[in-house]
A and B are shown apart, each in its own frame.
Chain A
Amino acid sequence: MKRSFEDAVQVIQANHKGLNSYYRITLDNLDAALLFLKDEGARLSTITGKDARDHLEVLYHFAILGELHTVIVEASYEKPDVPTITNHFPAALLYERELIGLLGFNVLGIPDPRPLELPPKYTDPTPPLRRV
């Protein structure tokens, strides 16, 4: 990943006996990074959304056999937009619906934007996993 994307990727951590790697990447490079991982045979394991107290983060966890590669992108509270990755990884749909419901992300281009867990009449303006 680092070799292919050079400065666009920041390796922030590698642990669990070297099997888990974490990369921070800008939203502009996300599409290219996903294509790279897809070519490497990666399978989307899950997506974690996170309120990092001053901004929002999305962590895409990809499995390649015994390795887990986590790609982290940031979004602001004011503009919580991230693109859908269902065009590359259809399995992302449920996890992206979770991002919409629990953290208030705006997933651009998602084929089914219904919140996953919350009731249809949920009226609280603050998504449950937001810290503010």
Chain B
Amino acid sequence: MVDVNERGFANLKIPIGPSHPALEEPARFLFEVEGEKVIDVDYEIGFNHRSIEMLCQERPFSKIVYLVERICGICSHAHPLNHVERVEDIADIEVPERAKYIRTIYAELERIHSHMLWAGIAGEEIGYHTLFMYTWREREKVLDLFEALSGNRVMHGCNRIGGVKWNISEEQARSALGALTYLDTAADKIAKAILKDGNIAERCKGVGSLSKEDAIRLGAVGPNARASGVPEDTRVMCKYAAYGDFDLEPQIAKDGDVVAQVLVRLAELKQSIWLTKELFANLPDGPIQAEYDGDVIPPGRSVGRVEAPRGELIHYVETNGTNFFERIKIRSPTLANIPSYVPKLIGCQVADIPIIAASIDPCFSCTDRMTVIKDGKRKVVSGRDLKAGRI
């Protein structure tokens, strides 16, 4: 006998995730539906929690830049950039201008490839596989550029306390400008392929809307908030690294739906390509590393933000005068954006869940328990194991 509610619909709950074809991320959603319509949603995260904050407090600070770079494979520059800026703030280290520019170049290249990756995944979620293949092909250019600059496509190892590790030669800058000109044309083609397609407009218009009031109330950040008309961009507001030298405007839209998310990210893609060209063209001369005695950081605290591709990324660093951190707290943009799923998903059709879930560009490697499979036996790592570093 089917349990029926007062409106005559069967009481059905659909679990999606963790790890589901519609959402290849370790988050679990429980949808309550009436027919094809979602009427309530609950979410659960933490399936891949790796205890990075605790690991950061149990290792000498010299090893932490390496560790925070491995929080996320997409934001592999945003995390260490924020971390070194916090340490430099506490230790009062003045970073050379050239190093600031190089940090900004990596940050913008990261945004370009992340937004291209998102456009491909969004295309794949609505069945537009050609767009997926096309954007990911063009994204390879950015990864090639990373390889030419740092020797690595994903983990760049660029940031050091007081500066950067990799300098940029004139030949590398010339070659990068050529690649960016190619990417500029590719971005126009991607925009045309998306915006001129009537099927995408029909499929995404009005889907997964988030009002400006809800975006502010629920603390949404990044392109997710800007698509709802919240004009907040940490690059513009905080002017960290070399962003203070350039006149940037936050890219906003007003409808808060999937189309608005597309418009914001496409505009940011063009903006980032322009900015990276400017950075290469105006790269100042000088050293790339400040003089700094790397033994001890004085006691202090610093909290700060950078604009990762998915939005505002916060690091809080507290030191105690030893070579271990007293506390490190990291808040990734996806965690801030998760509460905005509720108004976006309630009232939507079940078939729209994948594109809405993908629309905020969720990344759970930043956000999130770790399970170890050994000899075929599954074991959830306990707090005692983590404290003992047995992972």
Seen from chain A, the residues whose Cβ lies within 8 Å of a Cβ on chain B are: 13, 15-16, 19-20, 22, 43-46, 48, 50, 59, 61, 63, 65-66, 68, 70, 89-91, 93-95, 115-119, 121-124, 126-129
Pairs of residues from A and B, 8 with the lowest C-beta to C-beta distance, nearest first: A91-B219, A117-B46, A46-B331, A66-B237, A128-B383, A48-B329, A124-B383, A117-B49
Bound Cα distance A103, B49 (Å): 15
Inter-subunit contact A89/B304 (CB<8 Å): no
Bound Cα distance A68, B301 (Å): 13
User: B338 on the interface (CB 8 Å rule)?
Assistant: yes
Inter-subunit contact A91/B314 (CB<8 Å): no
Query: Hey, which chain B residues are within 8 Å of A59, CB to CB?
Result: 303, 316, 329
Nearest neighbor of A92 in chain B, beta-carbon distance: B219
Nearest neighbor of A115 in chain B, beta-carbon distance: B46
User: B155 on the interface (CB 8 Å rule)?
Assistant: no
Inter-subunit contact A126/B383 (CB<8 Å): yes
CB proximity of A35 to chain B, nearest CB, Å? 16
Inter-subunit contact A90/B338 (CB<8 Å): no
Given contacts A59-B316, A66-B239, 17 further A-B contacts (CB under 8 A): A13-B300, A13-B301, A16-B304, A44-B219, A46-B331, A68-B303, A89-B219, A90-B218, A90-B339, A117-B369, A119-B46, A121-B380, A122-B382, A123-B382, A126-B383, A127-B383, A128-B54
Bound Cα distance A90, B301 (Å): 27
Known contacts A66-B238, A128-B386; decide if A20 and B304 are in contact (CB<8 Å).
yes
Inter-subunit contact A20/B302 (CB<8 Å): yes
Query: Hey, which chain B residues are within 8 Å of A123, CB to CB?
Result: 382
User: B137 on the interface (CB 8 Å rule)?
Assistant: no
Inter-subunit contact A16/B219 (CB<8 Å): no
Scan residues 230-286 of chain B and give those whose CB is less than 8 A from a CB of chain A: 232, 237-239
Inter-subunit contact A43/B46 (CB<8 Å): no
User: B327 on the interface (CB 8 Å rule)?
Assistant: yes
Nearest neighbor of A70 in chain B, beta-carbon distance: B303
- Number of inter-chain CB pairs below 8 Å: 99
User: B336 on the interface (CB 8 Å rule)?
Assistant: yes
User: B89 on the interface (CB 8 Å rule)?
Assistant: yes
Bound Cα distance A118, B371 (Å): 12
Bound Cα distance A18, B237 (Å): 14
Known contacts A46-B314, A91-B218, A119-B369; decide if A15 and B53 are in contact (CB<8 Å).
no
Interface string of B345-389 (1 = CB under 8 A from A): 000000000000000000000001100000000001011101100
Nearest neighbor of B92 in chain A, beta-carbon distance: A15
User: B19 on the interface (CB 8 Å rule)?
Assistant: no
User: B192 on the interface (CB 8 Å rule)?
Assistant: no
Nearest neighbor of B385 in chain A, beta-carbon distance: A124
User: B335 on the interface (CB 8 Å rule)?
Assistant: yes
Bound Cα distance A22, B171 (Å): 46
